[in-house]
Structure 1
Amino acid sequence: MLNYILRRLFVAVFLLLGVAIVSWIVIQLPPGDFATTYETFLMSQGGITQEEARERADKLREQLGLDQPQWKQFYDWITGIVTQGKFGYSFAYRRDVGELIKERLGYTLILALAAHSISTVVGIVVGIYVAQRKYSLSDNIASVIAFVLASVPRFWIALVIIYMLVFTFNQHHITSFFSPEYVLAPWSWAKVGDFIRHTWPVVFIAGLGGVARNMRVMRGNLLDVLGQQYVTTARSKGLEEGRVINRHAVPNALHPIVAYQGTVLPYMLQGEMEAAIVIGIPTLGPLFYQSLVNQDIYISGGLLFIYAALIVLGNLISDLSLSILDPRIRYT
């Protein structure tokens, strides 16, 4: 097992390097750079001529190193990550990218993990329930709800929730983690409640698609398992139905769910990103969006690199979890 983990980590190094190269190429595809955005800003807001704006943009481009060849910029960026743990310098925020990500990563992971946990538990429980009632009224209702949850755009749900919070429930502060009186206050149960009151829409929206998917996957897998011979044998021996389901059928039906966990966290981060951008919660989502708009390449590249690392780590954890869940699975 240890050799398998070491091999996976060794391969992950080259995989992350490949992801970094592709991410760098993708974020360089739009025409222009941050200095071009700055030039446009000067002409629209600064009231200066195009020649003056271009001259200032060229000076800024030279100052930030954007006039260097692309391979040189990428080499300096990836070398800083490997040797110093630094993701570069943000042109728009004029701060270290690592500090910007660190400030928001904790809250982002809390919201994404909360959405993931709720969607997994609810989806599995509902999937087990409806699988035992194939084609019943509850099964059909759950299927329709799952289809709707998987189809409705997250941004639209976020807009509806914003409207309800503002005009129905008169909530005045929806674009922050806390109300003004709790921003600098020490942690307490009241502050935790205020945090939940501000962030539940993001968790709810990010988890909707996960509930639908987990329910459908669990239902389908459990129905397949219930039709196998060893389940029929267990029933013929007189075992209680609940024991047959929970002890014999469900563990084997969980394999695809566990394997899916390797990619679910970036998926939840994506759902959190869409909701946070619309609602305005200061997580990694709005930061990533603004970096793409401003062509702040080091923030965009750093976040894509982190997402890739989460997928690699998640896949490794899911593979190890499968070996624990099913003793028949062994890695050499």
Structure 2
Amino acid sequence: MAFYVLRRILTMIPTLLVISLLTFVIIELPAGDYISNQIAALKAAGESASIAKLEFMRAEFALDRPFFERYLIWVGLWPGPHGFDGLLQGNWGWSFEYDKPVAEVVGPTLPLTIVLNTATILFVYIVSFPIGIYSATRQYSWGDYGFTLVGYIGLATPNFLLGLILLYFANRWFGLSIGGLMDPQYIGEPWSVAKAISILGHLIVPTVVIGTAGTAAMIRRLRANLLDELHKQYVTTARAKGMREARLLLKYPLRMALNPFIADIGNLIPSLVSGSVIVSVVLNLPTVGPILLNALQSQDQFLSGFVLLFVAILTLLGMLVSDLLLAVLDPRIRLGGKAPS
């Protein structure tokens, strides 16, 4: 098991390098960059006083270098102009849109994004797990039909629409504002017990809104996997031998049905971040989603590149956790598909 964990961690290093290259290619695909667009806008407006400063910044941040050299400088594998460090040296770059370091732009939002994603994943699994088991073991019952209907509604309802509905009714019926992830007096303040309690209280609505679609899809997937296992011959044989239904369910079919269920942990993270951008705007959530959207629109390459790489790192960590859980659940995975001797 220890060798398997070490191998999975070492595999993440080249994977992350490839992802960083692909990320840099994606943010460089649109023609020009933030400074080039600003220079073009100033020239069109007939203003030339600030063009020299922008040209200086272009050279200062190595935007005038060849593509591959810019990538190596951004990662930190090539010395930049005037000692400009890269990601490996802890320099996340400069945000031209906000005119401040990327670390200062995304710093307050990173922990809140991780907290929100963790809460949403826990919500998805806590809710979908018992409902999926119930629907599979009581197929075609009224409860199964009811959960199936709710699941289809959850899949069909856009998250941002559900957020708008909750905003409206919370304000109309209770006079509450459920936007944000904390009370206004805690914004910009250091962490404290009161601030943590405020965040936990504000997490409920965005967690439900963002996790609804994922929960509905997970219920359908677990139900289908478990039904497939329940109709196999080994389950019939175990029943014929008199094994109790609860023990039979937990020991064999449920364990086999959990593999794809657990494997989805890594896939949930990028879908949560990308799918919650509009929800974050609607609910005024201080996460990296709206920042990434603005950075991509303005071609703020250092900011957008770091946020995309941050999401990739979260995905890799989620996949590592899911692989380790799968290795514990199914010995064939950590033994390279061979049956244990």
**With structure 2 as the length reference, what TM-score do the two structures score?**
0.84
User: 1:263 & 1:250 partners in 2: Cα distance?
Assistant: 21
Rounded Cα–Cα distance in structure 2 between residues aligned with 1:30 and 1:330: 42
Q: Contact 1:203 / 1:272 at 8 angstroms: preserved in 2?
A: no
Deviation at residue 272 of structure 1 after TM alignment: 3.6
Deviations 1:231-289 (A, max 9, x none): 11222222322222233321221111111122222222333433213222111112211
Cross-structure match for 2:17: 17
Contact 1:88–1:298 (8 Å) recurs in 2: yes
1:115-154 counterparts in 2 under 5 A?
Answer: 115-154=120-159
Give how far 1:53 is off.
6.2
Contact 1:231 1:244 in 2 (8 A): yes
Where does residue 204 of structure 2 map in the other structure? 200
Q: Distance in 2 between matches of 1:155 and 1:302?
A: 25
TM-score, normalisation: structure 1: 0.86
Report whether the alignment pairs 1:169 with 2:166.
no
Alignment equivalent of 1:288, drawn from 288, 292, 296: 292
| Aligned partners of 1:111 and 1:272 also within 8 Å | no
In 2, distance between residues paired with 1:181 and 1:55?
A: 41
**In the TM superposition, what whole-angstrom CA distance separates every residue of 1:13-65 from its partner, at most 9, and x where no partner exists?**
22222211221121122233212454577699xxx635556565444434443
Q: Does 1:303 align with 2:300?
A: no
Q: Is this contact kept in 2: 1:43–1:53, CA < 8 A?
A: no
Separation of aligned partners in 2, 1:251 and 1:36: 56
Q: CA deviation at 1:223?
A: 0.7
Separation of aligned partners in 1, 2:298 and 2:174? 35
Report 1:158-307 matches (<5 A).
158-172=163-177, 174-175=179-180, 177-180=182-185, 184=189, 187-188=192-193, 191-307=195-311
The 3 A distance-change label for structure 1 pair 316 and 207 is same
Give the equivalent residue in structure 1 for 2:106: 101
1:120: how far off? 0.7
- Mind listing any 5+ residue stretches in structure 2 that lack a counterpart? 77-84, 337-341
Q: How many pairs are equivalent?
A: 328
Distance (Å, rounded) in 2 between the aligned partners of 1:176 and 1:243: 42
CA distance in 1, matches of 2:270, 2:254: 26
Identity, in percent, stands at 31
| 3-state secondary structure, aligned to 1:49 | coil
Would you say the 8 A contact 1:112–1:272 is kept in 2? no
By how many angstroms is 1:191 displaced?
4.3
- Whole-angstrom distance in 1 between the partners of 2:236 and 2:315: 38
Aligned-pair distance for 1:8?
3.4
1:27 aligns with 2:27: yes
Q: Partner amino acid for 2:15?
A: L
Amino acid at match of 1:231: V
